[in-house]
Amino acid sequence: MKYIPHLLRSRKRKILEENIMKSIMAITTYSIILVFIYLILVISWKGIPALSWEMISEIPSGGFYFGKEGGILNAIIGSIYLSVGATFLSLLISIPIALYLNIHLLHHNRIKGGIRYLLDILWGIPSILYGAFGFILMIVFHLQASLLAGIITLALLITPIIIRAFDEALQGIPEGLLEASYAMGLTRNQIAFHIFVRQAMPGLITATLIGFGRAIGDAASVLFTTGYTDHIPTSLDDPTASLPLAIFFQLSSPIPEVRERAYAAAFILTLIILAISLLIRLCTSRLSKYQI
């Protein structure tokens, strides 16, 4: 092998380069995962001891915020109402818009590009601004801080996210499938709701989950619009408690017991997100198996 030392050397160098790149990618991947695991461990560590049946089955009693008995059932129910309502409302708006972009505006690249750009900007706006906007709307329409106002504000917040995420999935639909559908003599509506929605179902599910996660975790946009209450809302006009705000109020308490309960609330919030993600994925995996 004496006559090819330089080849051998360059081969070794390539292997070395490859290994360095591989290590960098591995390190970043695993460190991100570690951070998440650490986060979940901290929440569980501090949250589970403070967790009790009372906490998830009762509304706060008078002295709850000073460490007396009661629970955060009001915030749990409130958060579920808010985020499910907002996700549902937002889907009603987002699905037609994303389909319109990809079917009717397919060849209008300027308009399409403009709309996408706008949505991307809206995506980046901090949620406190949505909260402020929702607050202005409330004043204009003489609404009180209520479940409805919160649902509308959260829907505004997540609509650009859901549209763009679903839009990306729709853009991946092969041109040949579009041609085949048109060649069969399908109308645009049939193509939209029978072909595109099915084909892009996994994308729609992901979009829904991203939107839902953002809605249930957001504190700033419900701060002014839904208010906070110790009761479970019974109508859309009632003010509503939410988990992010419950966490915020409890964490800012000087009493250590109350602060521990904040972690319990965070733990519950995490569980809800996990449960709903799993549920949606299970329910819809059947629908997405026909993707071509």
Partner 1 sequence: MYNNDIIRIENLHVTTATQVILKDINLKIPRNRITVILGPSGCGKTTLLKCLNRLTDLHPQLQVSGKVWIDDEDIFQPNVDVIAVRKKMGLLSQRPYPLPMSIYQNVAYGLKMQGIADKHTIRERVQHYLEEVGLWKEVKDRLHSPASKLSIGQQQRLCLARGLAVQPEIILADEPTSALDPISSKKIEEKFLELKSDYTLVLVTHILRQAKRLADHVIFMYLGEVIEQGTPQEIFEHPQTTILREYLKSGH
Nearer of residues 5 and 176 to partner 1, judged by Cβ:
176
Number of H helices, E strands in the chain: 13, 0
Q: How far is the CB of 159 from partner 1 (least distance, A)?
A: 26
Nearer of residues 187 and 252 to partner 1, judged by Cβ:
187
Q: How far is the CB of 211 from partner 1 (least distance, A)?
A: 23
Cα 17 to Cα 48: distance, rounded to the nearest angstrom: 46
Cα 44 to Cα 124: distance, rounded to the nearest angstrom: 31
Nearer of residues 28 and 291 to partner 1, judged by Cβ:
291
Q: How far is the CB of 207 from partner 1 (least distance, A)?
A: 17
Q: How far is the CB of 37 from partner 1 (least distance, A)?
A: 36
Q: How far is the CB of 151 from partner 1 (least distance, A)?
A: 32
Q: Cβ contacts of residue 60 below 8 Å, gap of 6+?
A: 70, 71, 72, 74, 230
Question: Residue 72, exposed/middle/buried by CB under 10 A (0-12, 13-18, 19+)?
Answer: buried
Residue position matching structure tokens 């995996």: 285
Residue position matching structure tokens 């026909």: 290
Q: How far is the CB of 281 from partner 1 (least distance, A)?
A: 18
Nearer of residues 181 and 206 to partner 1, judged by Cβ:
181
Question: Residue 270, exposed/middle/buried by CB under 10 A (0-12, 13-18, 19+)?
Answer: middle
Cα 56 to Cα 248: distance, rounded to the nearest angstrom: 17
Q: How far is the CB of 177 from partner 1 (least distance, A)?
A: 5
Nearer of residues 61 and 190 to partner 1, judged by Cβ:
190
Phi and psi, residue 72, nearest 5°: -120, 30
**8 Å CB contact between 194 and 129:** no
Q: How far is the CB of 277 from partner 1 (least distance, A)?
A: 23
Nearer of residues 198 and 259 to partner 1, judged by Cβ:
198
Site residues, partner 1 (CB under 8 A): 106-107, 174-187, 190, 194-195, 198-199, 289-292
**8 Å CB contact between 145 and 233:** no
Nearer of residues 117 and 182 to partner 1, judged by Cβ:
182
Give DSSP secondary structure letters for 91-127: HHHHHHHHHHHHHTTTT-HHHHHHHHHHHHHHHHS-H
Nearer of residues 34 and 180 to partner 1, judged by Cβ:
180
CA nearest to 77, candidates 214, 283, 234: 234
Cα 228 to Cα 239: distance, rounded to the nearest angstrom: 6
